[in-house]
Amino acid sequence: MADVAELIASMSTGLDKCRKIAVERVFRPRNIMAFIAVVAAGLTIAEMAIYPAQLLATTVLSVVHVACVLAMPWKPRPMAMAVAVTFMACCLLPDTGGSSLLFGTFLAVAVLGLYAKSWTGWLWPIVICVVRWTKFVADGIGVDGYATLLMVFVGLYAVGRTLSWRDAAGRAERDRLRYEQARQRLESMRRDQLAASRIHDAVTNNLAYMAMRLDYERSRETDTERIAMLDDLHRRAIDTLGEVRTVIDMLDGDDTGDGNVADGNGGRNFDRNSDENAANTDVNIGDNAAGDTVNTVDSARPDSFAERIRNEMTRGDQYLARLGFSGDSTLVDVRLLIDDPLPDGRAERLDEVVALLRELYTNIAVHGDRAGTYKVVVRRNVDTLIVDQVNDIATHSPLPDKPHSGKGLSLHRDRFATLGGTIHTSAEDGTWILHATMPLAKHAA
């Protein structure tokens, strides 16, 4: 019994779908107009047979009139004009016989109203009424005999205009819905990109630093059991980092979810002939060697931008020093920034600059040469923040088993571009160079 009930329900659903499809196809505007046109043409032909024309010109115009009526569903506006013109031409002929041509003209007037492009379209029913009125006057018919007919012409044009306005309102509503859907898709993509950037900055930082510290501690350990434990922790950190990479790739629109894409430069992609090409690196460190937690975008932060930059630079230098790197970071023109609280409308830009600094220190740790040096400089002009980074590129990565997604600088480059900034990178003679700018004021869209 259950199977029979399911079969009946399935058949009922199928019949409903077929009925809806049939109704949609049958009651399309063109099909409705075609049906009315066929009826009007048929009535006109019947009138031509019952009341034959006395003049050849009337017969020719009537045939052209019928042909234009039948073609009206495919070329509405030009054919409706042709129908109206043939009707007025017949009215001006001194012929007491022939068809009235009213049925096709009624449809033509309504169509002219439906497809009118400006207020001048109202001239059509007015001119038709004037021409028909002259015919009535020439035939000696009183005003009572044709007033209603003239009002019908104007009324049909008004009906066409009403339908046109309704269609325009429907199109505007559909366009609004499409715009809203597109806006929601763009907003969803923006949120996904921001989430990918936040995950990249807030999760992979600790994992990358953990892996590097575990690797460093293992190199100094002599106890077999502790080496095994450190190897296990290192492997789990790398595996988790790979899973996080997959999530970041999916949020960033890479459906393959392959978080282990590496290139020949340890995750950095560049064009030696152009600093316009993207340098796509990987992770950023969040905790320093002493276990201090780095301030994220949503955490409590110092009152001034200069203090935030100095703190980030101090932590970055400490990370790299404990990993065996030599170099320093500099904040230019501290006097102008020391008492500069975070202004409204600029916090997002300043947060992104701080996040970029974390990325740069991690990139130095992962891709830099410990035997070389590095330099990070942040300076502020009147209306622009500028970040410059230089470091020697390592021949062999200190973390060869770390998964590379190529998303690090790519995500920050997208964020900078959204906020009106730029990031340019290049590699020359074994030296990595980065130059980034971020306007303090909102850029024009």
270 Cβ contact list (under 8 Å, min separation 6): 277, 278, 279, 425, 426, 427
Confidence (pLDDT) at 3 = 63
Q: How far apart are the C-alpha atoms of 34 and 73, rounded to whole Å?
A: 5
| 193 vs 167 pLDDT, higher one | 167
How distant is the alpha carbon of residue 314 from its chain centre?
Answer: 40
Q: What is the pLDDT of residues 327-381, one digit of tens each?
A: 999 988 644 544 455 555 567 788 888 888 988 988 888 888 888 899 999 988 7
For residue 296, name the pLDDT band (cuts at 50, 70, 90). Answer: very low
**Residue range 89-105: average pLDDT?**
86
pLDDT for position 149: 83
Confidence band of 262 (pLDDT split at 50, 70, 90): very low
pLDDT of residue 432: 92
Residue 178 has pLDDT above 70, yes or no: yes
pLDDT surpasses 60 at 272 = no
Could you give the 3-state DSSP secondary structure of residue 57? Answer: helix
CA distance 129 to 135: 10
Query: What's the CA gap between 377 and 328, in Å, rounded?
Result: 9
| 280, β-bridge pairs | none
Q: Which two tokens stand for residue 189?
A: 């993509």
Of 107-111, 210-214, 273-277, 357-361, the poorest mean pLDDT is in 273-277
Res. 282: pLDDT tops 70: no
Supply the pLDDT for residue 42.
92
* % residues pLDDT > 70 (the chain): 70
pTM for the complete prediction? 0.46
Q: Worst-scoring range by mean pLDDT, 296-300, 326-330, 392-396, 439-443?
A: 296-300
Least confident of 51-60, 217-226, 351-360: 217-226
| Residue 380 CB coordination number (10 Å) | 21
Q: Tell me how far apart the alpha carbons of residues 188 and 332 are, in angstroms, rounded to a whole number.
A: 38
Task: Calculate ∠ Cα 201-272-354, nearest 5°.
Answer: 20
CA–CA distance, 325 with 9 (Å, rounded to integer): 73
The pLDDT value recorded for residue 277 is 37
What does the domain layout of the chain look like in residue ranges? 28-172, 263-439
Between residues 400 and 410, which one has the greater pLDDT? 410
pLDDT given at position 332: 85
What sign has the CA pseudo-torsion 330, 336, 340, 343? Answer: negative
Of the ranges 172-186, 316-330, 359-373, 390-404, which one carries the lowest mean pLDDT score?
390-404
Q: Render 357-424 in DSSP notation, one character per residue.
A: HHHHHHHHHHHB-TTSEEEEEEEE-SSEEEEEEEEEBPSS-S-TTS---S-HHHHHHHHHHHTT-EEE
How many residues are recorded in the chain? 445
Written as six digits, the tokens of 271 are: 């064009």
The residues pairing with 388 across neighbouring beta strands, listed in sequence order, are: 377, 435
- Bigger pLDDT: 301 vs 159: 159
Please give the pLDDT value at position 22: 54
The Cβ of residue 109 has, within 10 Å, a number of other Cβ atoms equal to: 27
Tell me the pLDDT tens digit for each residue of 136-174. Answer: 877 777 767 678 888 888 888 898 888 888 888 888 888
**Among 201-215, 248-262, 380-394, 414-428, which is the least confidently predicted range?**
248-262
Per the prediction, the chain carries an average pLDDT of 76
The two three-digit tokens of residue 404, written as one number? 């590379």
What is the mean predicted confidence (pLDDT) over 6-26?
63
Cα separation of 155 and 125, whole Å? 9
Q: Is 130 helix (H, G, I), strand (E, B) or coil?
A: helix
Q: Read off the pLDDT band of 79 (50, 70, 90).
A: very high
The fourth-level CATH superfamily of domain 263-439 is Histidine kinase-like ATPase, C-terminal domain (3.30.565.10)
Report the pLDDT averaged over residues 250-270: 47
State the pLDDT at residue 263: 39
Q: Is the pLDDT of residue 285 over 50?
A: no
Q: Which of 105-114, 217-226, 257-266, 341-350 has the lowest mean pLDDT?
A: 257-266
CA 304 to chain CA centroid, Å, is: 36
